[in-house]
Amino acid sequence: MQEIDLSLRKKAIVVHSGGMDSSICLAHAIREFGLDQVLSLTFSYQQRHSIEIQQARLISDRWGVDHAELDISCLSQITANSLTRHDRPISKRPGEVPNSLVLGRNGLMARLAAIHGHSLGVRVIYMGVIEVESANSGYRDCSRFYMDLMQKILRIDLADPEFEIRTPLIFMTKQETLELAGQLGVLEFLLEETITCYEGLPKEGCQKCPACLLRNEGIIQYLKKNPELHFSYRAALTA
């Protein structure tokens, strides 16, 4: 794991998984603050789709934004789920949250990003959470209510009443997030280069896990309004 550089000075940190939503947030932050004022921060927690870390590096490099990685692999020791226990098949029983829920993950990442950001002069962090994840997958840490509570606690921790957790996608549908990516001029690139699939499969992914189902349904809905959009796996989704 690379050494964290505490000498940088930044205005914003983006918690960047290498997936579609967090990468849209990265593009959004770059537009807001400028390339040299944004840090892409990726967490390694022995996730089964760890290839997403590679994609976060690639996207950051292509866009020319500073990138850092933080090891929180202890998550795999203290909580059991199908993302950190690779021998467990991903599943979801009716009426229950999927076993891919990593308990407290977004809150932990927000706290660590804020602590690191404080050392860099950062007063804004971006999280690519979206409430459709909470509604469809039962992910309890994907709501603005949750992030508002985290923001209150972090303002106390940091002694900074102006500290912000920004969640620009929070109330959007997946289709709307793609529309924003189009407005930012990064949609085609992100469709090809982001990894969303929990099995770590690129492009259309496994088409079975919760992440793939939400992403691909959003792409299909987007194509109904934008049939001119072309990308390498379009046929796999529209067949």
Residue 18: per-residue pLDDT: 94
The answer to whether residue 223 sits within a structural domain is no
Residue 212 inside a domain? The answer is: no
Give me the pLDDT at residue 62, please.
98
User: What is the spatial distance between Cα 109 and Cα 103, in angstroms, rounded to a whole number?
Assistant: 12
Tell me what pLDDT residue 134 has.
Answer: 59
pLDDT digits (tens, 9 = 90+) for 51-106: 889 999 999 999 999 999 999 988 888 888 777 777 777 777 777 777 777 788 99
Residue 136 has a pLDDT of 56
SS3 162: coil
Residue 133 has pLDDT above 70, yes or no: no
Specify if 75 maps to a domain.
Answer: yes
Give me the residue label for tokens 């934008």: 226
Residue 203 forms part of a structural domain: no
Look up the pTM and report it.
0.92
Residue 37 lies in a domain: yes
The mean pLDDT value for 11-21 works out to 96
- Indicate which CATH number applies to the domain containing 57: 3.40.50.620
What does the pLDDT read at residue 79? 83
Specify if 2 maps to a domain. Answer: no
Question: Could you tell me if residue 111 is inside a domain?
Answer: yes
- Write down the pLDDT at residue 153: 98
Q: pLDDT-based confidence at 39, cuts 50/70/90? A: very high
Q: What pLDDT was estimated at residue 20?
A: 96
pLDDT, tens only, 162-208: 999 999 999 999 999 999 999 999 999 999 999 989 888 999 999 98
In this structure, what are the phi and psi dihedrals at residue 69, rounded to the nearest 5 degrees?
Answer: -130, 140
Supply the range of the domain harboring residue 77.
12-185
233 — pLDDT class (breaks 50, 70, 90): very high
User: Could you tell me if residue 161 is inside a domain?
Assistant: yes
Residues 13-27, mean pLDDT to the nearest whole number = 97
Q: What is the mean pLDDT of the chain?
A: 91
Q: How many domains does the chain have?
A: 1
Mean pLDDT of 4-30: 93
